[in-house]
Structure 1
Amino acid sequence: MPHVTGRHFLQIPGPSPVPDRVLRAMSQQVIDHRGPEFADLGLNALAAIKSIFKTQQDVIIYPSSGTGAWEAALANVLREGDRVLMYETGHFATLWKKMAEKLGIQAEFIGGDWRSGVDPAVIEEHLRKDSGHQIKAVCVVHNETSTGSTSPIAEVRRAIDNAGHPALLMVDTISGLGSVDFRFDEWGVDVAVSGSQKGLMLPPGISFNAVSRKALDAAAQGGTRRSYWDWKEMLDITGKGYFPYTPATNMLYGLVDAVAMIHEEGLENVFARHQRHAAATRAAVRAWDLEVLCQQQGHESGVLTAVLMPEGHSADAFRKAALKNYNISLGSGLSKVADKVFRIGHLGDINDLTLIGALSGVELALSKAGVPHSKGGVAVAMEHLLNTPSPGIDA
């Protein structure tokens, strides 16, 4: 392979680029995970991640991908034959539903068009019909990475409460956590699932379950047979800073530093930065006369923007041209929107200049690949950034 000069633009919606500071933290020597030094690291890591979930309740850290944390969430509170209500917001909601079915859980799937987040009124309607309270949990995706739509989790909680239903609220915030607002305690979430490689700016490798007291009670009374994923086995020892099996020590070093970076910027400033960059990106897409996949106003993601290709043009061919000519990686379309959509990630440790560089790469690649579009999207994005305050910088 020939050497490619310059910085590679990793603009997929996760894994996001890892800051040098976090890489340096992770480069520390491995320590004894049964010794006193590790206990301090474990407790610091657990306290750090609780602050991002905005919870005082228990958070469990697994050496796994987010898929493992999905399984842990389901296995601890649900048993074979249990019914759950799920909502089709996109590819990852569909995968979570397929996993539930593999575990013997009966998933009622509310159909969606992949162009918006969850409609809480539809969830409330379904729960009101369940007078016998057979549905044990409502499972929704906070930020659907495949489509660029974010769901109103607080409104979903109100829908469950308005229906007078005891179902647990289970939320996948794998790509949302640390990028868009999430409030575990305030929003009454019972189980939240997340991973390290998105807004937390870490490599893939650790995942999380935040769990409410209600969820812990449900786990104590049932769930499926489990060992590695068992919350109780973890919580019996993590309160002292240790893990029941070998932890991902160097990922924990990175987690502590990544969360410190987030708080140095200010968590609310992080959320505002993501929303501002998302708005600039959507302005560029529309100036190119292309279509943003998410149609529901207020549901547009701060994490990524999914862009529909013009009819007859391949998103994968465009992405290939972008990588070959401009050294920029863009997210692919998944399952129902495969080869129809490309995704621009604008999450993690980026600033205005990073975003404009990425959008310039997209605009250049549109021309190089022969994709019909109007010129000037980058200029429109620049104008948006110039005219909107930069969180934490502009007073």
Structure 2
Amino acid sequence: MISLNQHPSGRHFLQIPGPSPVPDRILRAISLPTIDHRGPEFGALGKKVVAGMQQIFQTRHPVAIYPASGTGAWEAALVNTLSPGDSVLMYETGHFASLWRAMALKLGLEPEFLALPGTDKETGLPLAWRNGVRAELIEERLRKDSNHRIQAVCVVHNETSTGVTSDIAAVRRAIDAARHPALLMVDTISGLASADFRHDEWGVDVTVSGSQKGLMLPPGISFNALSPKALARAKDAKLPRAYWAWDEIVEMSASGYWPYTPSTNLLYGLSEALDMILDQGLPAIFARHKRWSEGVRAAVGAWGLPTQCADAALHSPVLTGVITPEGVDADGLRRLMHQRFDLSLGTGLGKLKGRMFRIGHLGDCNDLTLMATLAGVEMGLKLGGVKLAGSGVAAAMDFFAATPAREA
């Protein structure tokens, strides 16, 4: 057991899909002295981070920033737009889609959970948890809703529990094809600033995200990106909200302030993260994450193990889910790798508990970080008695050597 006060030499390999490693540059920014959150200096900071987040979401419209986790931003999206008893169409792609549905139930909504039916023959796992959102199923359901009882469609962009990224533009096309007025709400908590996301272009009404993934910050800040349609719907919504209410936040943050005490020092870190990301440019960052994902999948394929994502077109650039052979406890392997190599990997969640582990490749990372991670995983698999078809380390090394990184 590693105590917080006694740590082995070298850096811990935090290769979970969030919270991701925080760069030293951001840690230094967070350590600056706290300032008056009603003073002029803070107003300039506030306006900067709101404008920067609009660029990250690729929107011209307001972004609400909360001192909260992504779970808080989930709640904000629902309570600002919906009323008790409203019907909400939600799509099951994994553990976090399921948690969002559970929240909707607690809030007094009536969520309908769409899912791809059946079990995968190769792994025995639910097909819904190995695939992304099927937009045609959403269109089919909305066409049947002739009275427009369904008030919102809620989907997860990058499902952190599975490593599957869904086509959000296709979901918007499905809603439009059905000529349905439902709002489109999207969770891109683990996708933002790592996977391409376009709030305005894709016609999203509320986008939910958090600070601890591609933005490379500690947990503690969350976001709602808002469309004019969502803001208009908020005027008639009847679910109770006070802390989460958009009206005061949107009004005050336009001048750089908030109607509550904001997380001042985390906003210093967000300002620094925005400088780092926007200086490089989002296209270069998206390309880098896609390349890392391809390199990691080359390793998994060489080991002869299946990835959790069964659709080659939907592999997440942020993480890769690795399914272990039947009878092999994935959590036992994770514990072994942590003990022997000071390496943290993501656990299997919900219906995937014990059947898979997750390799994060996002944020403050590089080729050598991933090569060391894959070496630790390969050694751990061998020590755990998993028979491998070949060397994943060699396969990833060949991929990275043959596929140069795109210059910013």
What range is the shorter-chain TM-score in? Answer: over 0.9
Deviations 1:22-59 (A, max 9, x none): 00111110000111111001001101111100011000
Aligned residues: 393
Question: Matched residues in 2 for 1:236 and 1:189: separation?
Answer: 21
User: Counterpart amino acid of 2:229?
Assistant: K
Q: Given the alignment of the two structures, is residue 249 of structure 1 paired with residue 232 of structure 2, yes or no?
A: no
**CA shift for structure 1 position 370:** 1.6
SS of aligned partner of 2:225: strand
1:49 matched residue in structure 2: 53
Between the aligned partners of 1:294 and 1:159, the Cα distance in structure 2 is 23
Q: Equivalent residue for 2:204?
A: 189
Aligned partners of 2:13 and 2:344 also within 8 Å: yes
1:30: which partner in 2?
34
Verify: 1:178 aligned to 2:193, yes or no: yes
Q: CA contact under 8 A between 1:265 and 1:392: conserved in structure 2?
A: no
**Residues 18 and 293 from structure 1, CA distance in 2 versus in 1: closer, same or farther, beyond 3 angstroms?**
same
Structure-2 separation of matches of 1:7 and 1:316 = 22
Cα shift readout 1:226-282 (whole Å, capped 9, x = no counterpart): 100000021221111101010001111111110111122221111011111101111
Find the aligned partners of 2:53 and 2:30 in 1 and give their Cα distance.
16
1:338 maps to 353
Among candidates 248, 255, 266, match of residue 240 of structure 1 = 255
- Partner residue in 2 for 1:300: 315
Task: Give the alignment partner of residue 106 of structure 1, picking from 88, 107, 110.
Answer: 110
SS state at 1:169 partner: strand
Amino acid at match of 1:92: F
User: What's the counterpart of residue 69 of structure 1?
Assistant: 73
State the SS of the aligned residue for 1:291.
Answer: coil
The residue that corresponds to 1:204 in the other structure is 219
- Whether 1:228 aligns to 2:243 is yes
1:111 deviates by 1.8
Deviation at 1:223, TM superposition (A): 3.6
Matched, 1:18 2:33: no
Give the distance between the partners of 1:300 and 1:126, measured in 2 at CA.
Answer: 26
Contact 1:87 / 1:109 at 8 angstroms: preserved in 2?
Answer: yes
Hey, what's the Cα distance between the residues in 1 that align with 2:237 and 2:220? 28
Which residue does 2:304 correspond to in 1?
289
Report the CA distance between 1:358 and its aligned residue.
Answer: 0.8
Task: Give the aligned residue type for 1:204.
Answer: P
Shift of 1:298: 0.8
1:368 equivalent among 365, 383, 405: 383
The letter of the residue matching 2:115 is G
Give the secondary-structure state (helix, strand or coil) at the position aligned to 1:331: strand
Equivalent residue for 2:291? 276
CA distance, structure 2, for counterparts of residue 186 and residue 64 of structure 1: 27
Q: What's 2:159 paired with?
A: 144
Q: How many Å separate the matches in 1 of 2:348 and 2:153?
A: 26
Decide which of 360, 368, 377 is 1:353's aligned counterpart: 368
8 Å Cα contact 1:310/1:372 also seen in 2: no
- Would you say the 8 A contact 2:79–2:237 is kept in 1? no
Query: 1: CA distance between counterparts of 2:336 and 2:279?
Result: 38
Once residues 6 and 236 of structure 1 are traced to their aligned partners in structure 2, the CA distance between those partners, rounded to angstroms, is 47
Aligned with residue 338 of structure 2, among 307, 323, 338: 323
**Following TM superposition, by how much is the alpha carbon of 1:389 offset from its aligned partner in structure 2, in angstroms?**
2.6
- Segment drifting more, 330-339 vs 364-373: 364-373
Which residues of 2 match residues 60-139 of structure 1 at below 5 A?
A: 60-112=64-116, 113-139=128-154
TM-score, length-normalised on structure 2? Answer: 0.95
Moved over 4 A (4+): none
1:367/1:74 CA distance change after superposition, 3 Å: same
2:70 and 2:209 in contact (8 A); partners too: yes
Amino acid corresponding to residue 202 of structure 1 in structure 2: L
Q: 2:10 aligns with which of 6, 26, 29?
A: 6
Question: What letter is aligned with 1:80?
Answer: P
Structure 2 CA distance, aligned partners of 1:223 and 1:198?
32
Between the aligned residues of both structures, percent identity stands at 60
- Any gaps of 5 or more consecutive residues in structure 1? none
CA deviations 1:322-372 (Å, max 9, x no partner) are: 000011000000010001110000010111111111111111111122222
Q: Secondary structure at the match of 1:42?
A: helix
The answer to whether 1:378 aligns with 2:382 is: no
- 2: CA distance, partners of 1:29 / 1:242: 18
Distance 2:389 2:273 in 1: 39
Work out the CA distance in 2 between the residues paired with 1:236 and 1:119: 37
Q: Is the 8 A contact 2:30 2:269 kept in 1?
A: yes
